[in-house]
Amino acid sequence: MKIKSTIGILFMIIVSVGIGGFIFKNQNEVQLNNRVRMNSIYEIAINQSKEGQHENFLSTRQKFVDVLGQEEATLNEGKWNPFFTVAPDLDLGRILIGMTHWNSMQGFGEAAGRLMPQQVAVDYFSSFDPLAYALLEPVDGKEFDMNTIKESGSVVEFAIRKGKTDDAFGAKREAFFNSLNKYDGYKFAREFKVHKLNEKGIPSLAENTQAVVIVWDNAEKFQSAAEVVFGTKEYQEFASKLEVEAYFASSPIK
C-alpha cells in the first residue's frame, strides 16, 4: 500500500481560503453529489510533522485547535495517535490524525475563510506535511456521533479507499463487514463518501471512493482479530477491488 500526499502546505492554505471566499459566491459550481449543500460534514486530516519539528507541530496545532473551537460551526473535534499501518516508510511517532465535525459545508467554508489568513494557522500549517485530507459525508445519510470513536482504550481504524471496479463497494464489501461481527471486540463500522478539494478549492465528490471508520474495544482484541482477518477470503476478495490511499489503526488522545 502507498500513502499518498494529497496537497502541499502552500496549496492547502490557498485552497482553504478559497473555500471561504470563493465557494459560496459561486454556489452554482458547487455540486456535491448533485446537491448544492449538505448537512453535517466531517473533516479528516492525517499529517506528519516535519523532521525535527514534532513538538512545534503539537504546540502550533493546539493553538490552532483552540481558535478553531471558537467557531460556531464546529460541533466536535478529536485526535488519534496511529500505532499500525502497512506503509513501512512512515514514522508513526510523527503522525497525528485529526477529525472535526462541522455543522455544514457552508459553516466549514466560512470558518476556513476567517481562520486561514491568521498567523496561528500559518504557523501550524508550516509545521507538517499532509498525508491525507478529505471531507466526509456518511453514506447512510445519518448523523455520526464522533464521541463513539473518542473512548479511551479503544482502537479506531481509519481508511480511505478508491474502488478499482464499479462494484468495489457492493457485495464483496458487505460480505467482509458482515464477517467482522464474529470477532470478539469488534464494535461497529461507518462508511463515508469522500469529498476532495479540486484545483479551485471547491469540494467535489471523489469518484468511486469511500472512507471507513472501524472501531474495536481495545488493542489486544484488535490485534488478535487482525492476525486472522487479513488472511480471510472475505478480506482478500474485497481488498482486491481497492486502491488504498490511507490506512491507520489508532488510539484516541484525550
For residue 22, is pLDDT > 60? no
Query: Domain 9-253 belongs to what architecture?
Result: 2-Layer Sandwich (3.30)
Q: What is the pLDDT of residues 66-109, one digit of tens each?
A: 999 999 999 999 999 999 998 888 999 999 999 999 999 999 99
Q: Which residue has the cell 478529536?
A: 78
Give CA–CA dist 136/191, Å, rounded.
9
Burial of 235 (0-12, 13-18, 19+ CB in 10 A): middle
Among 46, 42, 41, residue whose Cα is nearest residue 4: 46
Amino acid 163: pLDDT = 98
Q: What is the pLDDT of residues 196-233, one digit of tens each?
A: 988 877 899 999 999 999 999 999 999 999 999 999 99
Kindly state the percentage of the chain with pLDDT values over 90. Answer: 80
Give CA–CA dist 145/147, Å, rounded.
5
Specify whether the CB–CB gap between 77 and 68 falls below 8 A: yes
Question: How far are the Cα atoms of 83, 114, 130, 155, 183 from residue 71, in angstroms, in the given order?
Answer: 31, 10, 23, 29, 40
Amino acid 38: pLDDT = 54
For 117-124, the CB contacts below 8 A with 24+ separation are 117/17, 118/67, 120/60, 120/63, 120/64, 120/67, 121/13, 121/64, 121/67, 122/13, 123/60, 123/63, 123/64, 124/57, 124/60, 124/61, 124/63, 124/64
Amino acid 77: pLDDT = 96
Amino acid 202: pLDDT = 83
Amino acid 34: pLDDT = 34
